[in-house]
Amino acid sequence: MDKNNYYNEIIKMAIDVRNYSYSPYSGFKVGACLRDKEGNLFTGCNIENAAFSPTNCAERTAFFKAVSEGSREFECIAIAGGASEKIRDFCPPCGVCRQVMMEFCDPVTFKIILVKSENEYREMLLKDLLPEGFGALNIK
């Protein structure tokens, strides 16, 4: 797929927002930058908790910020994560985050951009990361 001209910006923002990650238990810092169809950007980091299960992933932080500010139609999300300062590998979204994406995004067009560095990224579609996903249409 072609590199969209806004990719540079959202990739950099996903990398930068990792600095805000609150991850004292895992030490795994994740940043995400979500772009809606109007071009608005919403960043998010993972926020851990001593009780573990309240932990929120970076992707869901970005989605919940966006939805709580009135945005509901999304184009793509860039995700950057890793345990060390320098990211060593791609960080695919967890199953819960994929399901949240399914709630608000068209799986055929929503793009998930896995980021290793400003120049190294992989682009995927939600339908490929969550095949046969269950969504709002299924409970109509």
- State which of positions 40-69 bind ligand THU (CB under 6 A): 46, 48, 55, 57-59
Query: How far is C-alpha 106 from the geometric centre of its chain's CA atoms?
Result: 15
Residue 42's nearest CA partner among 95, 104, 88, 102 is 104
The CB-of-1 to ligand THU minimum distance in angstroms stands at 21
- Our answer to whether residue 59 is catalytic in this structure is yes
Please report whether residue 91 would count as binding ligand THU according to CB under 6 A.
Answer: yes
Counting residues that bind ligand THU (by CB under 6 A) gives 16
For 72, other C-beta atoms within 10 Å of its C-beta total: 11
Residue 104's nearest CA partner among 57, 35, 58, 43 is 35
Q: Where does this chain bind ligand THU (CB under 6 A)?
A: 23, 26, 28, 30, 46, 48, 55, 57-59, 79, 81, 91, 93-94, 97
